[in-house]
A and B are shown apart, each in its own frame.
Chain A
Amino acid sequence: MSLQQTLKAYKFGIVNYLNALKLQERLSGERKAGNIQDTILSLQHPPTYTLGKRRTDHNLLLTESEVQAMGAELHYTERGGDITFHGPRQAIIYPIISLRAIGFGARKYVEGLESIMIEVASLYGVNAHPGKAGETGVWVGDRKIGAIGVRISSGITSHGLAFNIDPDLNYFKHIVPCGIRDKGVTSLRREAQMQLPEDEVIHDQLIQSFAKTFHFKDMQWSQVSRRPPPAAADRRRLHPTKCSAGGDGQPSAANYTQLNVTLVN
C-alpha cells in the first residue's frame, strides 16, 4: 500500500536526452519489478528535437545535418505523439508510475497530465485548456503551451510532459509542432502578465500538482543536480541560425551528469 502512496521526486539540472531516456528505462524496469515506488523526474534538456513511435519526420523542416549545425540533437523514441522540441527553460516532467496500481488507463492519465499544466498556468493568471479531441496537449487560445508524449509498458509510464516556461520559441519554427499546422506555440513568459519566479519553483509546482492529482499521500525529494543560474541561461539564448556547434550556448558538461541515481525506497 505504501509503495503506491509515496511519490519519489528526483530533481536535475539540464540533462542530455539519451541519458534521461536510459535512466527512465532503468527506473521503469525497477518499478515493474516492484523494487521501487512511483517516481517522477524533473529536468530540462539541451536543444533537442524528438519524434514519436510513428516517426513522422516529414514534420521536421530541416535535415539532420542542419539540426546538428545549430547545436541541437535529434532522437527517435518509443513515446506516443508527433515531433516536438525540448530546450532550456522548458520544464520536463517524466513520471514513472504504475497505472495498474491506480486503475488508470492511458486516456485518464493523459487528462491528468493536462490538468496539471492547466493548474500551474492558472497560478500565473494564464487561462489554459486542453485541446480538442485528437489534439492532446495544453493550449492558451490556439497557441500551445504544453505538450504530452507518453509510453506505457506493462502498465508503467515513461516520458511525460513538456511545459514552456520561457524556452527559445524560434526553435519551433523548424518543425510542424505535433504535426498540427496553423497553430502557434507559446510560453508562460509570453502569456503571464506577472513576473515569473525561478524555473525551479514552477518545476516544483508541477510535481506537487501531479502528486495531488494522482492522490499521492507522501513525497520524497532528492536534488541530484542543478541548472546554471538564470543570468547564464539568458546569455545562452541564441537564435538557432547563430548557434555554433558545441561552442558557446551549450551548458557545461557538469550539468549533463549525475544520473548515477541511487535508488532507495
Chain B
Amino acid sequence: MALKLWASSAANALKLSSRAAAPFPASSISRCFSSVIDGFRYSDSHEWVKHQGDVATIGITDHAQGHLGEVVFVELPESGTSVTKGSGFGAVESVKATSDVNSPVSGEVIEVNSKLTGTPGLINTSTYEDGWMIKVKPSDPSELQSLMDSKEYSKFCEEEDAH
C-alpha cells in the first residue's frame, strides 16, 4: 500500500520536474524514505553514479549519509588513480567509525572533490550535488547497466531497513 502511494506521488513529482527541465529530477517524496535522483544509478553498497558523456560522478546516497550520521572526515584518492567496480576508493568518518566507500564502476579518477577536505559535511547537506566524491572516466560503461535504477534502489533500501 505504502509503495503504491509512493509510486503515484513519484509520478506526480516527475511530471512537475520535467516541466522545469531539470536533467535529473529528484523524487524526494515522503520523509519515511531516503531521497533518490531519477536517472542516477546505484550500487548495493549505497553509492550513486551520475553518467554524463565520458564522465561518471560518484558519491554516497542519502540512505547512506543518514545511516552514517554527520561526516567529519573524508579520505579520497588522487587524480590518476585506477578504481575497480566493487572495490574501495576512499572512506568517510562519522561517529568514530570509518566506513569504506566502494566505486560502482571501473576506470580512472579524473577529479576529486577537494571541498570535502574542509567541509566534509557537504556529504550530509548536499548529498547528490556538492557532496560528490570523485569523477571517473569509465573503462567499461556497460558496468552501469548492472547497477540499480532509482526505483530498484529505493526498494532495496526499504528491504534492508526492514530487518
Contact = CB atoms under 8 A, between A and B. Distances in A.
Interface stretch (B2-10, B23-31, B89-97): B89-97
B96 A80 contact: yes
B45 A53 contact: no
Contacts of B97: 79-80, 106, 109-110, 148-152
B96 A107 contact: no
Interface size class of A (residues with CB under 8 A): 20 to 34
A194 to B, nearest CB: 30
Contacts of A107: 67-69, 94-95
Contacts of A134: 70, 72
Nearest to A111: B95
Given A103-B162, A107-B67, A152 B93 contact: no
Contacts of A148: 96-97
Contact of A151 (B45, B72, B98): B98
Contacts of B66: 105
B73 to A, nearest CB: 5
Contacts of B100: 152-154
B91 A149 contact: no
A53 B67 CA distance: 20
A107 B45 CA distance: 16
A190 interface: no
A145 to B, nearest CB: 15
B160 interface: yes
A71 interface: no
Interface of B: 45, 64, 66-70, 72-73, 75, 88, 91, 93-100, 102, 160-163
Interface of A: 52-54, 78-81, 100-110, 133-134, 136-137, 148-155
8 contacts: A79-B97, A80-B98, A102-B163, A110-B96, A134-B70, A151-B97, A152-B97, A152-B100
